[in-house]
Amino acid sequence: MERILFYILALSMVGFAIAAVSSRKMLRSVIYLLFVLVGVAGLFFLIDYNFLAAIQLTVYAGGIIVLIIFSVLLVHHIELKLEMAKPKRRILTGILCLLGIGVFISTIYSHSFDVVGEHTTTLTSDIGKRLLSVEDGGFILPFEVISVLLLAAMIGAIIIAKGKKLNEKTKDLP
């Protein structure tokens, strides 16, 4: 049962990913990307990482897709067809990517992973404890760094998106 589910997920993810990079309509390719991201969340559910699947759904499928859709709507006319690369270049890139896939897959299959057979469920409380522990193997420092990074990115995004208007207004004020 899970096997069939995995193959359905994998096939639909690959199909939607190809559609997302080759569709000529902007908004449609964003929606195809949304399907790919939801498929990845389904994969996380299958390998029993409920917390990561929830994060994937909220941050990627919820936040990032909405951001990209907003930027598409602000920037583009919906019906505008995208300009594609020349066919020769596309074929060349496709061959290059197939070559890369071949190299990667042959490397993966020639390496023998010693898979541990036991089945453990990761609790969200374990992730939280490890994320905030100050002992060996704790992740408190990257956690703090990432929070500062998010704050800096937020401030930077506001400043950049406001652009010149913010500076002019602050100059006019005094």
Partner 1 sequence: MIEGISIYDILTLTTILFFIGVYGFLTRKNLISILISVEMILNASVVNFVVINKYLYPDILQGTLFSIFIIAVAAAETALAVAIIINLYRQISSVEVKDTEVMKF
Q: Which of residues 12-31 bind partner 1 (CB under 8 A)?
A: 13-14, 17-18, 20-22, 26, 29-30
**Total residues in contact with partner 1, by rule CB under 8 A:** 83
CB of 172 to partner 1, least distance (A): 19
Site membership for partner 1, residue 37 (CB under 8 A): yes
CA distance 140 to 120: 24
Single residue of 8, 28, 48, 168 touching partner 1 by CB under 8 A: 48
Judged by beta carbon, residue 148 or residue 173, the one nearer partner 1 is: 148
Residues in region 53-92 near partner 1 by CB under 8 A: 55-56, 59-60, 63-64, 67-68, 70-72, 74-76, 82-85, 89-90
Site membership for partner 1, residue 163 (CB under 8 A): yes
Single residue of 144, 158, 167, 168 touching partner 1 by CB under 8 A: 158
Judged by beta carbon, residue 88 or residue 174, the one nearer partner 1 is: 88
Dihedral sign from CA coordinates of 93, 95, 101, 103: negative
Secondary structure of the chain in HEC code, one letter for each residue:
CHHHHHHHHHHHHHHHHHHHHHCCEHHHHHHHHHHHHHHHHHHHHHCCCHHHHHHHHHHHHHHHHHHHHHHHHHHCCCCCECCCCCHHHHHHHHHHHHHHHHHHHHHHHHCCCCCCCCCCCCCHHHHHHHHHCCCCCCCHHHHHHHHHHHHHHHHHHHHHHHCHHHHHHHHHCC
**Per-residue contact flags (x/-) with partner 1 for residues 113 to 152, judged by CB under 8 A:** xxxx-xxx-x---xx--xx-----x-x--x---x--xx--
**Per-residue contact flags (x/-) with partner 1 for residues 90 to 119, judged by CB under 8 A:** x--xx-xxx-xx--xx--xx---xxxx-xx
